[in-house]
């Protein structure tokens, strides 16, 4: 055999070293080394030791052999990457930009091998009679430890080792000597750290409604015939989408296939996981950011070994190392959290589609308010579409009423509760039913301003206002903190404080209006500790409170049967966000909020308070008519060449020197124009937040109907930067395709 060579990607995220480097594989490593392994090697002129991953193994070198250095070592404590993950990472780098190592780290959610948790069990190897004789002897000799040990072993087949040594205070020496005498046996086994701790107990599957049944049958029939076109399920809130996911998962289990279920982290609650667990038992597992490293690692292993067949988690659960992936479910597919906000800025929907293509799996997305993108693809035939138009059973969609808050003010009502909402709250209390009050705070910072001169307190490092938190003021962009001011630095007035319309204020007000009401509040302050979120929801579900007040957090996917009223305070705050998706976001949020009411046998009602009652997002929401909202929103997107009618690439530059950053941005815009790619280049312009962390930000927007042209543009930008290293030394650059935020 020839000398073998390994191409490695070095674990440094810098454009300069963002390519494979070739090394010779030493003889003793040849049989062991595989693609995907982490290795150590000398790098650069100084031969400094570096780590990286093997992406290819070759028989012949690509360079003169004498120039090729040798690998030093395999790093066994880092997990190897699967060949499939490397391919997916390559695709992500190509599709979204950034370095290969960034992409590789993204697809490898668990990096380090963790020590296994071992458990030991003790059991008898002699007959009961022999053990009884031993016990009698020990009792005679008053050997208390031995007595307890034998009693325990005689009462059960196996006994946990640590239980013996801790609870029963049997000394390890006693166990050891009896093992040596051949009376008992100690066995070790690996215990998997399991993040799910539920009581056993299965729920039977529900008999599907004819509508549900048709969808499940059609999907599985298509699946068996090899149709892998992504599917979109548009089902109103409470129409039984989750039930469909579960039937599809069952179909996959019957075919020996595994399923990834993506859920926005915020909706990934005890309730949701419990529902899956009770249906499928411990082949279900979960991945989320709250798991310890050990728990994550063990889930990863169990998935790889095929012990887990259904993995539920946020977007990173896509990278579960299943060998027999059959289905990827994306619940609430319209949620912006499916877009990553770190390089590579991937969208889970797109990566899921690529992963499915690579593995022969299929993507199934569901939403009550599909993203414009997905609905557009369903219309152009790129996706299949299924519709569930009615709620399960007798449950009806709630009646929605809009209240013009400007009108309230005119008629002398100065509170944040309209007369209609107050009246509905009173009725709901008197019927003993529950209600949810939702404060839409998206796009509103709790900025601190002087009520006398209008001065706004800003972060000294960023171009944003500071937010008030208890006794401090915080910058959400860089973490800068300062004590709260009591006097305006501009005019000396003491009337300087934050914009207060928080959940706390609403709670106070509710208690004032209805002194006997039992109120729960869910916001950043009441959900600091792990488990707080679940505790509040469980208490509300158990009927321990009449009112649940909260922000976005409370509108996601919960199924409270006794909630008959939903109040939306300040529905329009999200409309002020300077973002082309503001209308879509508002419609989605309101539809979700409204959908919380009337999920049981009783009819529900929703009251939406707003200062813009004529806005089309709100009007379509009262009508609960997604399709007409979609048409109107699409007209606007087409007119403005916004996604999904066009694709858009945001190119973000940041640098410590303002003029330098601007010059670089101009230079890039020029080079794109020079290449004559038929894209439209807008800008550069300072980003809407012009400075973060003392770095100035410039943004360029590039539009075209075809994604490939934008990818070409990205490649041009990367080449330009490589060719002009010196000029771009001080700037950083990001690509964001079809951004879900504005810059």
The binding site for Zn ion (CB under 5 A) comprises 450, 452-453, 455, 459, 461-462, 475, 477-478, 480, 488, 490-491, 493
Question: Minimum Å distance from CB 85 to Zn ion?
Answer: 36
Q: Does 562 bind ligand ADP (CB under 6 A)?
A: no
Nearest Cα residue to 257 out of 228, 218, 231, 229: 228
Enumerate residues 120-179 that contact ligand ADP by CB under 6 A. Answer: none
Q: Does 392 bind ligand ADP (CB under 6 A)?
A: yes
Question: Minimum Å distance from CB 269 to ligand ADP?
Answer: 13
Question: Minimum Å distance from CB 233 to ligand ADP?
Answer: 9
The DSSP bridge partners found for residue 78 are: 112
Stretch that binds ligand ADP, among 37-45, 238-246, 320-328, 686-694 (CB under 6 A): 238-246
Residue 461 interaction partner, one of ligand ADP, Zn ion, none, beta carbon < 5-8 Å per kind: Zn ion
- Omega prior to 47 cis, within 30 of 0: no
Question: Minimum Å distance from CB 247 to ligand ADP?
Answer: 9
Stretch that binds ligand ADP, among 4-12, 124-132, 200-208, 620-628 (CB under 6 A): 200-208
Q: Does 240 bind ligand ADP (CB under 6 A)?
A: yes
Pairing of strands 563-569, 547-550: unpaired
Residue 490 interaction partner, one of ligand ADP, Zn ion, none, beta carbon < 5-8 Å per kind: Zn ion
The DSSP bridge partners found for residue 703 are: 648, 680
Q: What is the DSSP letter of 465?
A: B
Helices (H), 167-209: 172-180
Enumerate residues 517-546 that contact ligand ADP by CB under 6 A. Answer: none
Spatial neighbors of 129 by CB under 8 A, at least 6 apart, are: none
- Rounded to 5°, the CA angle 283-288-294 comes to 75
Tell me which of 82, 559, 603, 718 binds ligand ADP, using CB under 6 A: 559
Question: Minimum Å distance from CB 280 to ligand ADP?
Answer: 15
Residue 431 interaction partner, one of ligand ADP, Zn ion, none, beta carbon < 5-8 Å per kind: none
Question: Minimum Å distance from CB 657 to Zn ion?
Answer: 18
Based on CB atoms, which residue is closest to ligand ADP, 11 or 559?
A: 559
| Cα torsion angle, 370, 372, 375, 381, sign | negative
Tell me which of 109, 238, 326, 550 binds ligand ADP, using CB under 6 A: 238
Based on CB atoms, which residue is closest to ligand ADP, 240 or 502?
A: 240
Based on CB atoms, which residue is closest to Zn ion, 246 or 464?
A: 464
Residue 392 interaction partner, one of Zn ion, ligand ADP, none, beta carbon < 5-8 Å per kind: ligand ADP
The Cα-based distances of 197 to 66, 193, 246, 274, 312 in angstroms read 58, 10, 20, 9, 15
Distance from the Cα of residue 459 to its chain's centroid: 29
Based on CB atoms, which residue is closest to ligand ADP, 241 or 585?
A: 241
Residue 559 interaction partner, one of Zn ion, ligand ADP, none, beta carbon < 5-8 Å per kind: ligand ADP
Stretch that binds ligand ADP, among 189-197, 233-241, 636-644, 709-717 (CB under 6 A): 233-241
CA distance 670 to 556: 45
Q: Does 209 bind ligand ADP (CB under 6 A)?
A: yes
CA distance 383 to 228: 10
Question: Minimum Å distance from CB 213 to ligand ADP?
Answer: 8
Pairing of strands 310-313, 231-235: unpaired
Buried b (16+ CB within 10 A) or exposed e, 168-194: eebeeebbeebeeeebbeeeeeeebbe
Based on CB atoms, which residue is closest to ligand ADP, 587 or 734?
A: 587
- Rounded to 5°, the CA angle 81-85-87 comes to 120
Nearest Cα residue to 208 out of 218, 221, 197, 222: 218
Q: Does 671 bind ligand ADP (CB under 6 A)?
A: no
Spatial neighbors of 729 by CB under 8 A, at least 6 apart, are: none
Tell me which of 74, 208, 266, 682 binds ligand ADP, using CB under 6 A: 208
Distance from the Cα of residue 644 to its chain's centroid: 23
Residue 311 and residue 252 in contact, taking contact as beta carbons nearer than 8 Å: no
CA distance 438 to 608: 10
Q: Which two tokens stand for residue 236?
A: 């109103």
Tell me how far apart the terminal alpha carbons of the chain are, to the nearest angstrom. Answer: 55
Residues that bind ligand ADP (rule: CB under 6 A) add up to a total of 15
CA distance 735 to 710: 10
Residue 242 interaction partner, one of Zn ion, ligand ADP, none, beta carbon < 5-8 Å per kind: ligand ADP
Q: Does 237 bind ligand ADP (CB under 6 A)?
A: yes
Residue 285 interaction partner, one of Zn ion, ligand ADP, none, beta carbon < 5-8 Å per kind: none
| Cα torsion angle, 724, 725, 729, 735, sign | positive
Based on CB atoms, which residue is closest to ligand ADP, 206 or 494?
A: 206
The number of residues making up the chain comes to 743
- Omega prior to 34 cis, within 30 of 0: no
The Cα-based distances of 341 to 93, 455, 547, 549, 644 in angstroms read 15, 32, 34, 29, 20
Residue 450 interaction partner, one of Zn ion, ligand ADP, none, beta carbon < 5-8 Å per kind: Zn ion
Residue 112 interaction partner, one of Zn ion, ligand ADP, none, beta carbon < 5-8 Å per kind: none
Question: Minimum Å distance from CB 461 to Zn ion?
Answer: 4
Question: Minimum Å distance from CB 422 to ligand ADP?
Answer: 29
Question: Minimum Å distance from CB 284 to ligand ADP?
Answer: 16
Question: Minimum Å distance from CB 466 to Zn ion?
Answer: 8
Question: Minimum Å distance from CB 518 to ligand ADP?
Answer: 24
CA distance 710 to 737: 8
Q: Does 235 bind ligand ADP (CB under 6 A)?
A: yes
Enumerate residues 242-281 that contact ligand ADP by CB under 6 A. Answer: 242-243
Matching residue, tokens 């006398």: 452
Q: Does 374 bind ligand ADP (CB under 6 A)?
A: no
Nearest Cα residue to 232 out of 380, 356, 386, 372: 386
Residue 368 and residue 624 in contact, taking contact as beta carbons nearer than 8 Å: no
Enumerate residues 61-90 that contact ligand ADP by CB under 6 A. Answer: none
Q: Does 418 bind ligand ADP (CB under 6 A)?
A: no
The DSSP bridge partners found for residue 736 are: 650
Q: Does 211 bind ligand ADP (CB under 6 A)?
A: no
Q: Does 387 bind ligand ADP (CB under 6 A)?
A: no
Residue 459 interaction partner, one of Zn ion, ligand ADP, none, beta carbon < 5-8 Å per kind: Zn ion
Stretch that binds ligand ADP, among 43-51, 72-80, 159-167, 239-247 (CB under 6 A): 239-247
Helices (H), 514-567: 532-541
Residues that bind ligand ADP (CB under 6 A): 206-209, 212, 235, 237-243, 392, 559
């Amino acid at each position: 055999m020839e000398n073998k060579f390994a191409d490695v990607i070095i674990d440094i995220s810098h454009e300069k070293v963002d390519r494979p480097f070739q090394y010779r594989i030493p003889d003793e490593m040849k049989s062991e080394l595989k693609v995907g392994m982490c290795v150590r090697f000398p790098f650069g002129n100084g031969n400094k030791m570096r780590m990286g991953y093997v992406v290819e193994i070759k028989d012949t070198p690509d360079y003169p052999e004498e120039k090729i250095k040798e690998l030093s070592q395999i790093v066994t404590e880092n997990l190897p990457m699967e060949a499939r993950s490397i391919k997916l990472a390559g695709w992500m780098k190509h599709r979204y930009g950034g370095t290969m190592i960034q992409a590789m780290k993204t697809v490898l959610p668990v990096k380090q091998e963790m020590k296994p948790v071992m458990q030991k069990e003790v059991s008898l190897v002699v007959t009961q009679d022999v053990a009884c004789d031993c016990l009698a002897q020990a009792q005679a000799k008053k050997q208390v430890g031995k007595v307890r040990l034998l009693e325990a072993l005689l009462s059960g087949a196996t006994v946990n080792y640590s239980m013996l040594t801790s609870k029963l205070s049997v000394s390890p020496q006693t166990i050891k000597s009896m093992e040596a005498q051949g009376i008992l046996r100690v066995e070790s086994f690996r215990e998997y750290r399991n993040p799910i701790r539920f009581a056993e107990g299965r729920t039977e599957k529900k008999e599907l409604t004819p509508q549900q049944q048709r969808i499940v049958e059609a999907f599985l029939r298509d699946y068996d015939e090899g149709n892998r076109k992504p599917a979109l399920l548009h089902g109103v809130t409470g129409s039984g989408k989750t039930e469909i996911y579960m039937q599809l998962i069952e179909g996959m289990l019957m075919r020996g296939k595994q399923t990834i279920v993506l859920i926005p982290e915020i909706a990934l609650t005890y309730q949701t996981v419990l529902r899956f667990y009770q249906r499928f038992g411990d082949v279900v597992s979960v991945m989320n950011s709250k798991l310890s490293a050990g728990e994550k690692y063990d889930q990863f292993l169990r998935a790889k070994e095929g012990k887990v067949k259904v993995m539920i988690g946020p977007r990173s659960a896509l990278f579960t190392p299943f060998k027999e992936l059959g289905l990827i479910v994306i619940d609430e597919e319209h949620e912006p959290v499916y877009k990553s906000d770190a390089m590579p800025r991937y969208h889970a929907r797109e990566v899921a589609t690529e992963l499915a293509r690579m593995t022969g799996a299929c993507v199934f997305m569901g939403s009550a308010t599909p993203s414009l993108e997905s609905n557009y693809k369903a219309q152009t035939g790129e996706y299949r579409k299924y519709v569930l138009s009615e709620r399960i059973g007798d449950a009806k969609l709630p009646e929605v009423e809009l209240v013009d808050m400007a009108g309230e003010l005119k008629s002398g009502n100065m509170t944040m509760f309209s007369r209609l909402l107050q009246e509905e709250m009173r009725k709901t209390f008197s019927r003993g039913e529950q209600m949810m009050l939702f404060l839409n705070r998206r796009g509103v910072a709790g900025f601190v301003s002087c009520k006398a001169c209008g001065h706004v307190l800003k972060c000294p490092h960023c171009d944003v206002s500071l937010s008030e938190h208890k006794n401090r003021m915080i910058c959400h962009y860089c973490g800068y903190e300062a004590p709260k001011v009591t006097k305006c630095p501009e005019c000396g007035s003491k009337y300087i404080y934050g914009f207060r319309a928080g959940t706390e204020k609403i709670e106070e007000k509710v208690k004032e209006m209805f002194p006997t009401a039992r109120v729960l509040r869910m916001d950043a302050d009441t959900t600091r500790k792990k488990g707080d979120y679940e505790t509040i929801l469980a208490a509300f579900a158990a009927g321990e409170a009449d009112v649940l007040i909260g922000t976005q957090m409370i509108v996601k996917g919960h199924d409270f049967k006794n909630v008959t009223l939903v109040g939306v305070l300040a529905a329009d705050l999200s409309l002020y966000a300077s973002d082309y998706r503001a209308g879509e976001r508002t419609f989605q949020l309101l539809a979700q909020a409204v959908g919380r009411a009337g999920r049981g046998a009783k009819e529900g009602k929703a009251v939406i308070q707003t200062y813009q009652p004529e806005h089309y997002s709100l009007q379509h929401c009262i009508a609960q008519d997604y399709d007409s909202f979609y048409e109107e929103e699409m007209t606007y997107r087409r007119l403005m060449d916004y996604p999904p009618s066009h694709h858009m690439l945001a190119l973000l530059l940041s640098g410590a020197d303002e003029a330098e950053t601007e010059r670089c941005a101009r230079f890039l815009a020029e080079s794109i124009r020079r290449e004559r790619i038929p894209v439209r280049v807008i800008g550069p312009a300072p980003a809407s937040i012009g400075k973060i962390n003392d770095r100035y930000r410039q943004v360029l927007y590039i539009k075209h109907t075809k994604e490939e042209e934008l990818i070409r543009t990205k490649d041009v930008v990367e080449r330009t930067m490589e060719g002009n290293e010196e000029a771009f030394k001080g700037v950083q650059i990001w690509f964001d395709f079809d951004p879900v935020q504005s810059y």
